[in-house]
Amino acid sequence: MTQTAPPSAPSRPASGLDLTPPDAAERAALEADLSSEERRVLLAHGTEAPFCGTLLGEKRAGVFCCRQCGLPLFRTATKFESGTGWPSFSEPVDPDHVRAVRDTAYGLVRIETRCARCDSHQGHVFPDGPPPSGDRYCINSVALTFVPAGAALPDPLGRGDGTA
């Protein structure tokens, strides 16, 4: 998981996907497509209520992508039942796809996770996950879009991101 600011020039991690942030017009189009709850979580760093997210029980093979920009963030193979009420993953598709940001809200010190391409809030990562990573990425369902294995990835920025 990278801990740097979002890139300003074209950037391609090991996955080969373009992590260049959306420009102002692209960002406006992405944000216009969000529901009020998606805006509250993704843009205002909110949290959905536990045990109500639509992706909590999703077990089909595939990938979980950023709801805002479509970047693949997590695979079903790394999803596990944490009992917390939010989808939990042990590692991202590519460590460069998820940014870590120190979060001191509510008098706590946590690590917020954000999409490395569009900087949308996804959730938090905690050091109490299963081996081999030991990490638990606790992610809001509303921040994700599920794509079944073999299906086309969402590509709202027209970057030719491929299939799950």
When pLDDT is cut at 50, 70 and 90, the band that residue 1 belongs to is: low
* For range 11-27, the mean pLDDT: 86
What residue segments make up the domains of the chain, in order of their start?
Answer: 24-148
* CA-wise closest residue to 123 among 103, 139, 111: 139
From the candidates 66, 115, 118, 138, give the one annotated as an active-site residue: 138
* For range 107-122, the mean pLDDT: 92
Amino acid letter, residue 51: F
Asked about 138 being catalytic, the answer comes back as: yes
Amino acid letter, residue 110: R
Q: Where are the beta strands (DSSP E) in the chain?
A: 62-66, 72-75, 79-80, 88-89, 98-103, 110-115, 121-126, 136-139, 144-148
Could you report the per-residue pLDDT of 68-87, keeping only the tens digit for each? 999 999 999 999 999 999 99
Instruction: Provide the whole-model pTM.
Output: 0.88
Domain 24-148 superfamily per CATH: Peptide methionine sulfoxide reductase. (2.170.150.20)
- C-alpha–C-alpha distance, residues 2 and 71, integer Å: 15
